[in-house]
Amino acid sequence: MIGNDLLGIEDLEREDIQRILDTAVHMAEVSEREVKKVPTLRGRTIVNLFFESSTRTRASFEIAGKRLSADVVNFSPATSSLKKAESILDTARTLDAMDPDCVVVRHAVAGVPKRIAEVLDAPVVNAGDGAHEHPTQALLDLFTVQQEKGRLDGLSIAIVGDILHSRVARSNIYGFTKMGAEVRVAAPPPMIPPSIESLGVKASSSLREALDGADVVMALRIQSERLAGSYIPSIREYANTFGIDRAKLAYAKDDAIVMHPGPVNRGVELSHDLTDDRPSVILDQVRNGVAVRMAVLYLLTGRRPRAVAAPDEGGLVT
């Protein structure tokens, strides 16, 4: 079952994922109403604790929280002068003293949301940690594919790009494989993490091989400033070999859809026209992100059973 926190897709069972997706269907309906707001989390406080800036994800969580009537507070230690004055755990303890009902954490280093969750009473949602996980992104991707294809089981998903540095790739690998889809990854060899097969995927340095017969083609963002010259010779060479245009998309199934977690480097990961038009579903991903995050916030903010030490056993009773 869904625990107190959402730290990664790795921790979830298939039933948990399905429950979140089922809930998101109804949250999507709320988002289509004229009054896009329900009183569910009235009087609750959600803190967006973003050590790493991310306008898009933060805005998505903020809108999700507000549509559920929660008070949403944005706290970005990285952008304040606090940066090195306080350890992450001190920041977490400080926040905890303000009694938030849910804390959404993003950090450039893997593992920070987990460490914070160990300190906090409130449920923690991982909004992306280093190259580890970005569970709500994977959930919105699963939701979008489910919406498009009507199923997840038995689909072929090709993830293309910098797998090594990608938390989106890892969360999606866990998510899609748990839901019965087959995942292949393709990247220039320096961008394929060691032993990636241990996560249950097929890795290839051939785009054609990875795309062959795929139902979904997911391109990842290339951090050009960091990678060009060291992991890949140049952006131009990457665009030529791994950039996806309509010609390369032809390797995939005729009805394949194209996804990207955004923001897209146009002409690098995806050709210009593929960024905007079908079969690209990039804007649906963004839209669904709000619904999925509403579902996650709803499901995680139930009243937490208080741990009470049983007088005669000393164990935990909930």
Partner 1 sequence: MSRILILGGRLLDPASARDETADLLLEGGCIAAAGSDLDSRGAEVIDAAGCWVAPGFVDLHTHLREPGQEHKEDIASGGRSAVAGGFTSLACMANTEPVNDDPATTDYIIDRARQESPARVYPIAAATKGLKGEIMTEMSALMAAGAVAFSDDGKTIMDSGLMRRILEYSRLVEVPVVVHCEDRMLVLDGVVNEGPVSTKLGLPGNPAAAEEVHVSRDVRLAELTGAHLHVAHVSTAGAVKTIREARERGVSITAEATPHHLTLTDAAALDYDTNTKVAPPLRSAADVEACRRGLVDGTIDCVATDHAPHAVHEKDQEYTAAPPGLIGFETAVPVVLDLVRRDEISPLELIRRFSTNPAHIIQRPGGSLADGEPGDVVVIDPNRRWTYDPAKGYSKSRNSPWAGLEMIGRTVATLVEGRLVYHVDRGVLVP
Partner 2 sequence: MPENDAGGARTIFTDTGIRRALMRIAHEILERNEDPTNLYLVAIPNGGVPLARQLAANLREIASSEPEVGVLDTTLYRDDLATRSERPALRETVMPAEVDDRIVVLVDDVVKTGRTIRAAMDALMDFGRPRAVQLVGLVDRGHRELPIKIDFVGKNLPTSPGEHVRLLGATGGADGPLEIVVLPEGQSLESARQGGSEAKARTMLGGAA
List Cβ neighbours of 24 (8 Å cut-off, separation of 6 or more).
Answer: 139, 143, 288, 291, 292, 294, 295
Instruction: Categorise residue 123: left if φ over 0, alpha if ψ from -120 to 50, beta otherwise.
Output: beta
Tokens of 262: 């955004």
Residue 150 or 194: the one with the smaller Cβ distance to partner 2 is: 150
Torsion of CA 18, 129, 235, 214, to 10 degrees: -10
- Residue 235 site contact among partner 2, partner 1, none (CB < 5 to 8 Å, cut-off depends on kind): none
* CA proximity to 51, closest of 126, 123, 119, 122: 126
Binding-site size for partner 1 (CB under 8 A) equals 25
Q: What are the CA-CA distances from residue 318 to residues 88, 305, 308, 309 (Å)?
A: 29, 6, 7, 9
* CA proximity to 278, closest of 256, 297, 247, 296: 256
∠ at Cα 305 (119, 28), nearest 5°?
A: 90
- 56 noted as active-site residue: yes
- Residue 129 site contact among partner 1, partner 2, none (CB < 5 to 8 Å, cut-off depends on kind): partner 1
Among 18, 30, 74, 205, binds partner 2 (CB under 8 A): 30
Q: What mask, x for binding partner 1 by CB under 8 A, covers residues 151 to 170?
A: ----------------x--x
Residue 41 or 258: the one with the smaller Cβ distance to partner 2 is: 41
* CA proximity to 161, closest of 152, 170, 148: 170
How far is Cα 164 from Cα 175, in angstroms, rounded to an integer? Answer: 17
- Residue 149 site contact among partner 2, partner 1, none (CB < 5 to 8 Å, cut-off depends on kind): none
- Residue 236 site contact among partner 2, partner 1, none (CB < 5 to 8 Å, cut-off depends on kind): none
Among 23, 59, 66, 130, binds partner 1 (CB under 8 A): 130
- 57 noted as active-site residue: yes
How far is Cα 281 from Cα 265, in angstroms, rounded to an integer? Answer: 16
**CA 46 to the chain's CA centroid:** 18
- Contact flag: residue 18 with partner 2 (CB under 8 A): no
- Contact flag: residue 221 with partner 1 (CB under 8 A): no
- Residue 87 site contact among partner 1, partner 2, none (CB < 5 to 8 Å, cut-off depends on kind): partner 1
Among 18, 23, 76, 147, binds partner 2 (CB under 8 A): 23
Only one of the segments 21-29, 211-219, 259-267, 271-279 lies at the binding site for partner 2 (rule: CB under 8 A); that segment is 21-29
Contact 157, 40 (CB under 8 A): no
Q: Provide, rounded to whole angstroms, the least separation between the CB of residue 240 and partner 1.
A: 27
Binding-site size for partner 2 (CB under 8 A) equals 24
Residues at the site binding partner 2, with contacts judged by CB under 8 A: 19, 22-23, 25-27, 29-30, 33-35, 37-40, 43-44, 68, 298-299, 302-305
Active site residues: 56-57, 84, 106, 134
